[in-house]
Structure 1
Amino acid sequence: MTYVITFWTCYILYMEYKAVANMRLRHLAAESRRPDQLTVLVRNVPPDPDESVNEHVEHFFCVNHPDHYLCHQVVYNANDLAKLVAQRKAMQNWLTYYENKFERKPSSRPTTKTGYGGFWGTTVDAIDFYTSKMDILAEQEAVEREKIMNDPKAIMPAAFVSFRSRWGTAVCAQTQQCHNPTIWLTEWAPEPRDVFWDNLAIPYVELSIRRLLTTVALFFLIFCFMIPIAFVQSLANLEGIQKVLPFLKPVIEMKTVKSVIQGFLPGIALKIFLIILPTILMTMSQIEGYTSLSYLDRRSAEKYFWFIIVNVFLGSIITGTAFQQLKSFLEQPPTEIPKTVGVSIPMKATFFITYIMVDGWAGIAAEILRVVPLVIFHLKNTFLVKTEQDRQQAMDPGHLDFATSEPRIQFYFLLGLVYAAVAPILLPFIIVFFAFAYVVFRHQVINVYDQKYESGARYWPDVHRRLIICLIISQLLMMGLLSTKKFAKVTALLLPQPILTFWFYRYCAGRFESAFSKFPLQEAMVKDTLEKATEPNLNLKEYLKDAYVHPVFKGNDFDRPRVVDEEESNPLVRTKRTSQGTTRYNSEASSSATTTPVANNDSPRLM
């Protein structure tokens, strides 16, 4: 039976991988012109004693790509400028609020206090106060811009380089540029709205160290996650609170307070930690230095997946914290680990049925009802909305959170594989979950959520790999379960399964994965030829000049670049809802890096 499940799963995964790869290639062939099709991100530009980074980039690509190089935009470290821009946006919003208030009631000018949030300090005229604040910040911003332009240290060894054709872009992005493989590193540039500007200012040499430290931190987060929860929950009992805060003893001894502390606080403590977990994992991914929002989502999903495997799956099967599980695993031979876990699997079938109904079915119902976003909107609308911009931000439906939704769905896939042969009674509950999940998420993507970026299904290789991991885990646990039932000969027959599954994964990666990281030169030439035939007078330099300009260099224009608006008006999936004019992605400008467009000349210029 396990071989039937394995071969059927591999067959479905193969057909799905093939279908997704073909859809991606058709999408790339059919999509309209976008800046990322003609741009590469160059990192680790080597220093030159005679040329600036700007001149060095131009010189290198003029020499090595003379027929295809068009222009470039160097990357600047503008951390202080980004903070000033964010502050000025906040001041502008307050100024607009008080001006509207004065228009509604011109008989008296509005006042505010000079302290934080207007809650304390000297009472002053609000319009004059925020106007003066705006003027001061505008002057500081102008000084900071000039400082960045004149400081060579503000120029990072990176640039967005644009080409005249997709063919030339593909050649540059997919080849080694120098005999030294550690410099002049090129990769496909993310689309403009997908760029995570903060990480462009991170020196490339730091990335390996950052990722190593993040991996170590993730290990301790996964296996020690219950330690801070246990500490907080220890304070949730009466003795712990009285020991730490003895002056609260009279309050704690009240019957109502005692019941709340004993009944609700432990669960609330666990829930709070689980709510902030995705934020922690996303922060760790940002520290790793990835330069696109899509890649950050993929890395966060990877981390969340392993957290669920250890703390939810193994944590539910084996009693004790993850750290205790790790200790027990280290104290026994590796061959005994599947046996230790496998013996507990049948006994937990009832628990996981309940878990599917409580977390899975209820989670899908909560997704379609969106009760929490509705409550948050009304709270914002009541207490925080001051201007029309605030209202638009409060009404922003957000985007589908791949970093948490996708690993949770894969967890249910793992449960189905593990219990398909052990306790098939679990399968109807999982099938119902996937059926409702398909209907609900399809509705949410089409009618509710905004599209944050378009990566063209680059997520799929990561999804495929984690599904293969789920399949191998189920095979190892089945071997461990059978070994506890004294079926040694049957267990030996199952040994080839993980090996064949891993070989299948390697075959699929070699067969299809290149379609998700490379663009065929043949397809690039076809698109270039068609574009030249249909638009012979196209001015690519004009089209690309503002594509990768950071929002903080937009001056008083806080809107998104023109190319981003074009992308949102031509989505991959036509939706029934229209995006609000201003979303929270517009304000993701507080960063440590920025770019300015550079034409084929020696001095950078701001747009």
Structure 2
Amino acid sequence: MLVSALLTSVGINTALCVLFFTFYSILRKQPNYYDVYIPRLLADGTSKWRSLFGFERLIPSAGWVAKAWRITEEELLSSSGLDTVVFMRLITFSLKVFSFAGIIGIFVILPINCLGTQLDEFDIIDWAGNSLDVFTISNVNNGSKRLWIHFSAVYIVTIFTCFMLYNEYKYISSKRTSYFYSSKPQPHQFTILVRSIPTSSNSSVSETVESFFKEFYPSTYLSHMVIRRTSKIRRLLNEAKKLYKRRIQLQSDSNQQNCFRAFGRKVSRVDHYEKKLENIQENLRLEQSEASLAGEETRAAFVSFNSRFAAGTAFHLQQSVNPTQWITELAPEPQDVYWPFFSESFMRRWISKLVVIITCILFTILFLIPVVVVQGLTNLSQLKAWFPFLTSILTIKYVSQVITGYLPSLILQLFLKTVPPVMEFLSSIQGYISHSDIEKSACYKVLWFTIWNVFFATLFSGSFLYQVSIILDPKSIPGRLAVAVPAQASFFIAYVVTSGWTSTSSELFRIIPLIISLISRPFTKSTNDDELEAPSMPYHKDIPRILFFGLLGMTYFFLAPLILPFLLIYLCLAYIIYRNQFINVYAPRYESAGKFWPIVHNSMIFSLVLMHIIAVGIFALKKLSLASTMMFPLPVLTLLFNEYCRKRFLPIFVAYSAESLIKKDRQDRDDPNMAEFFDKLVNAYKDPALMPIQYSSNTDSLRRPLVS
């Protein structure tokens, strides 16, 4: 790729970013779009719909930037929780690491790369006509002593990154413990989830759970709630909600024809929906009554104790001689429980995981098709061979720059939009009981899918069998990476610009919610703040993207340091935009107390080791065998550092220590509100589908007996 093609991509994406920022700063002031741009403020009641017109509404302003900049970490913690703080720490951590690497890369390594003559002389006069390969390590002459500067840079950046990783792990671990100490008593702190409960024909699951825990935990067992099958009830609830919204809409819309003819007579649409709601409500009561019977019990239950330490002890101990029975795990928060799909047996969960693994592999293989197509677009000669009839068009300079510089990364980005929802769905059928576990699992899947399909598949964009042959021959990996990674530097620089800059700006503009709002507005005349629900942050989509850019920055900082300025601009945009979104848009759906950070740590360690492997191959390829040999201790030391961090910090993110639990229990011992808390704990984990509902205006059905 030529510098001119990269500049074309930068120009297009910069224009899109400016466009998104301008439209956002205008539309956010319009009352019609409050539900798109400040749904959290509306749902919290801190902002109201305003109808007064003013010309300042039509003038773009940057006041929101200053507001997002001023918010402190403590304010974020109190308003959005520790997960939000951890997400923002990921961005600031990346900014610190790549600012340090950028100083070395731009001011030291980049001039050395340009001064080389291995590929071509750098043309200062026609600088836009230079190939981007001139800015990479490939242009440094073989055997040059200047390569020792690259070698030293790898060691320096590795040490600095590990130092920063240690400090961040330590800081977030301490914040997690402090957050626990400062929290009020929560139901999940006193509760565990028990699966694979053995059953018999003589007793129900509920009776089995009660007798087991009363026998083995007589002084600490408090209560339990058996999980029931409620999928049919949920379908009825969803249908009732749709009918209820339709009825409210008809009642509020005086212009709409509210009657239709049935069997030759006029029938009121409102009365029609009211009758249907009454019927569904009656069916719901019958289904809820049936669900309370023993036959609808699953072999799983939430079991609550009278202290945090007792719940922690039950979680850590193996409950049965048979390890596939009475399997325990920490209970999520009641609002975090994922009710629609619940796999209660050990075998069913194992089969679900196997099915998901196979599905992920097939999805990964199918995704290689767009990757190969995208790589064909970056190569003009290959593109002409595929489509000979486009030869005349491809000779036009601007067209070729757009096709090679902008189009490939745009197409790949559009395909990648499908990955997070697919991975979230696959995680949801693995048997996870909480939204946080589903999102954490999806985060891992999206990250490794992106690393494999965007990074490795792009590097080795050949047949699938060729990629498999690389894995089967580990000795050849450093050499092949050394050849492939620098060759794709131009593509990944353009990818950071397209996927980073534009995607982050579109996050601010919220294109999809805006389109949905525009389509649905003609059908909804009134908006009720009480019914408005603020969306939650899609961590499984955004954390993998930042971590993947971290991998690109780490692997390319000494190979093609030109990527770093574009990466830093992306991180600065992300810092401001996501802070703004946490203030105005996203409300926390759950609180995992920073459990996403180990994913961040592991990903950065992987990026460092990958950089070391590439460095080994590069120095060998550049005829500097001593540097290649001296690079071997670095990945070993990095993995030892990672092992130390795993032993030192990871247990804090799995469960709280006995010391913390006992201290917190003693702190709450004299609290007069604890008795009321334990009374509410009994029903804290009752399935919302079993709660009584009232959508119909006729209240007689609630008092009508089930059996006449």
Question: Shorter-chain TM-score: what band?
Answer: 0.7 to 0.9
TM-superposition CA deviations, 1:64-98 (whole Å, max 9, x none): 11111111110001111111121112122222222
Matched, 1:459 2:593: no
- Give the 5 Å matches for 1:233-252: none
Secondary structure class of the residue paired with 1:72: strand
Which of 27, 30, 43 aligns to 2:182? It is 30
Rounded to whole Å, the distance in 2 between the matches of 1:125 and 1:304 is 50
TM-superposition CA deviations, 1:268-298 (whole Å, max 9, x none): 9866543322211111111211111111111
Matched, 1:364 2:512: no
TM-superposition CA deviations, 1:137-177 (whole Å, max 9, x none): 1222222223222352x211111111111121121122222
Which of 252, 272, 278 aligns to 1:129? It is 272
Which residue number corresponds to residue 345 of structure 1? Answer: 485
The answer to whether the Cα contact below 8 Å between 1:112 and 1:125 also exists between their aligned partners in 2 is: yes
TM-superposition CA deviations, 1:457-485 (whole Å, max 9, x none): 01111221122112212211222222222
Instruction: Describe the shift of the 1:170–1:113 C-alpha distance in structure 2 as closer, same or farther (beyond 3 A).
Output: farther
Which of 156, 159, 167 aligns to 1:15? It is 167
Deviation at 1:206? 0.9
Which amino acid in 1 is paired with 2:473? P
- Name the % identity: 31
Instruction: Describe the shift of the 1:202–1:65 C-alpha distance in structure 2 as closer, same or farther (beyond 3 A).
Output: closer
Rounded to whole Å, the distance in 1 between the matches of 2:629 and 2:168 is 31
Matched, 1:438 2:575: yes
Instruction: Describe the shift of the 1:217–1:123 C-alpha distance in structure 2 as closer, same or farther (beyond 3 A).
Output: farther
- Give the 5 Å matches for 1:486-565: 486-535=623-672, 538-556=675-693
Secondary structure class of the residue paired with 2:549: helix
Rounded to whole Å, the distance in 2 between the matches of 1:537 and 1:349 is 60
The answer to whether the Cα contact below 8 Å between 1:109 and 1:125 also exists between their aligned partners in 2 is: no
Instruction: Describe the shift of the 1:267–1:486 C-alpha distance in structure 2 as closer, same or farther (beyond 3 A).
Output: closer
Secondary structure class of the residue paired with 2:670: helix
Rounded to whole Å, the distance in 1 between the matches of 2:507 and 2:411 is 23
Which of 428, 445, 448 aligns to 2:585? It is 448
Deviation at 1:456? 0.4
Secondary structure class of the residue paired with 2:484: coil
Which residue number corresponds to residue 408 of structure 1? Answer: 545
Which of 139, 148, 158 aligns to 2:291? It is 148
Which of 402, 419, 427 aligns to 1:277? It is 419
The answer to whether the Cα contact below 8 Å between 2:460 and 2:467 also exists between their aligned partners in 1 is: no
Which residue number corresponds to residue 356 of structure 2? Answer: 214
Which amino acid in 2 is paired with 1:8? F
Instruction: Describe the shift of the 1:230–1:428 C-alpha distance in structure 2 as closer, same or farther (beyond 3 A).
Output: closer
Which residue number corresponds to residue 156 of structure 2? Answer: 4
- Give the 5 Å matches for 1:96-107: 96-101=248-253, 104=254
Deviation at 1:557? 5.5
Which of 408, 411, 428 aligns to 1:286? It is 428
Q: Which has the larger radius of gyration?
A: 2
Which residue number corresponds to residue 255 of structure 1? Answer: none
Which amino acid in 1 is paired with 2:431? G
Rounded to whole Å, the distance in 2 between the matches of 1:203 and 1:95 is 41
Secondary structure class of the residue paired with 1:218: helix
Deviation at 1:552? 1.0
Rounded to whole Å, the distance in 2 between the matches of 1:346 and 1:497 is 21
The answer to whether the Cα contact below 8 Å between 2:420 and 2:541 also exists between their aligned partners in 1 is: yes
Rounded to whole Å, the distance in 1 between the matches of 2:308 and 2:562 is 53
Which residue number corresponds to residue 220 of structure 2? Answer: 68
Rounded to whole Å, the distance in 1 between the matches of 2:261 and 2:238 is 21
Rounded to whole Å, the distance in 1 between the matches of 2:473 and 2:371 is 30
Rounded to whole Å, the distance in 2 between the matches of 1:474 and 1:123 is 75
The answer to whether the Cα contact below 8 Å between 1:418 and 1:474 also exists between their aligned partners in 2 is: yes
Which amino acid in 2 is paired with 1:111? C
Secondary structure class of the residue paired with 1:435: helix
Would you say how many aligned residue pairs link Structure 1 and Structure 2?
515
Secondary structure class of the residue paired with 2:642: helix
Which of 460, 483, 494 aligns to 1:354? It is 494
Matched, 1:481 2:600: no
Secondary structure class of the residue paired with 1:452: coil
Deviation at 1:312? 1.6
* TM-score, normalization by structure 1: 0.78
Rounded to whole Å, the distance in 1 between the matches of 2:462 and 2:415 is 18
Rounded to whole Å, the distance in 1 between the matches of 2:484 and 2:692 is 62
The answer to whether the Cα contact below 8 Å between 1:195 and 1:293 also exists between their aligned partners in 2 is: yes
Instruction: Describe the shift of the 1:448–1:128 C-alpha distance in structure 2 as closer, same or farther (beyond 3 A).
Output: closer
Rounded to whole Å, the distance in 1 between the matches of 2:583 and 2:268 is 47
Which residue number corresponds to residue 467 of structure 2? Answer: 326
Matched, 1:423 2:560: yes
Rounded to whole Å, the distance in 1 between the matches of 2:337 and 2:259 is 40
Deviation at 1:449? 1.1
Matched, 1:51 2:191: no
Secondary structure class of the residue paired with 1:290: coil
Deviation at 1:437? 1.9
Matched, 1:183 2:331: no
Instruction: Describe the shift of the 1:123–1:14 C-alpha distance in structure 2 as closer, same or farther (beyond 3 A).
Output: farther
Deviation at 1:28? 0.5
The answer to whether the Cα contact below 8 Å between 1:229 and 1:273 also exists between their aligned partners in 2 is: no
TM-superposition CA deviations, 1:414-445 (whole Å, max 9, x none): 11111222223322322232233223222322
Rounded to whole Å, the distance in 1 between the matches of 2:338 and 2:422 is 17
Which amino acid in 2 is paired with 1:410? L
Which residue number corresponds to residue 375 of structure 1? Answer: 515
Instruction: Describe the shift of the 1:471–1:112 C-alpha distance in structure 2 as closer, same or farther (beyond 3 A).
Output: farther
Instruction: Describe the shift of the 1:461–1:267 C-alpha distance in structure 2 as closer, same or farther (beyond 3 A).
Output: closer
The answer to whether the Cα contact below 8 Å between 2:537 and 2:586 also exists between their aligned partners in 1 is: yes
Matched, 1:110 2:258: yes
Farther-moved stretch of structure 1 (294-303 vs 538-547): 538-547
The answer to whether the Cα contact below 8 Å between 1:75 and 1:158 also exists between their aligned partners in 2 is: yes
Deviation at 1:23? 0.6
The answer to whether the Cα contact below 8 Å between 2:504 and 2:573 also exists between their aligned partners in 1 is: yes
Matched, 1:157 2:274: no
Matched, 1:300 2:442: yes
Instruction: Describe the shift of the 1:428–1:134 C-alpha distance in structure 2 as closer, same or farther (beyond 3 A).
Output: same
Rounded to whole Å, the distance in 2 between the matches of 1:540 and 1:58 is 21
Secondary structure class of the residue paired with 1:157: strand
Deviation at 1:29? 0.7
* Structure 2: runs of 5 or more not aligned: 1-151, 377-398, 696-708
Rounded to whole Å, the distance in 1 between the matches of 2:368 and 2:200 is 51
Secondary structure class of the residue paired with 2:342: helix
Deviation at 1:327? 4.3
Deviation at 1:109? 7.0
Which of 607, 610, 634 aligns to 1:470? It is 607
Farther-moved stretch of structure 1 (358-367 vs 71-80): 358-367
Rounded to whole Å, the distance in 1 between the matches of 2:631 and 2:481 is 17
Which amino acid in 2 is paired with 1:14? Y
Rounded to whole Å, the distance in 2 between the matches of 1:90 and 1:65 is 45
Which amino acid in 2 is paired with 1:181? P
Which residue number corresponds to residue 347 of structure 2? Answer: 205
Rounded to whole Å, the distance in 1 between the matches of 2:569 and 2:673 is 54
The answer to whether the Cα contact below 8 Å between 1:96 and 1:387 also exists between their aligned partners in 2 is: no
Secondary structure class of the residue paired with 2:675: coil
Secondary structure class of the residue paired with 1:463: helix
Instruction: Describe the shift of the 1:91–1:109 C-alpha distance in structure 2 as closer, same or farther (beyond 3 A).
Output: same
The answer to whether the Cα contact below 8 Å between 1:398 and 1:450 also exists between their aligned partners in 2 is: yes
Deviation at 1:405? 0.5
TM-superposition CA deviations, 1:195-231 (whole Å, max 9, x none): 1112324433211121122112212212321348989
Which amino acid in 2 is paired with 1:303? K
- Give the 5 Å matches for 1:562-581: none
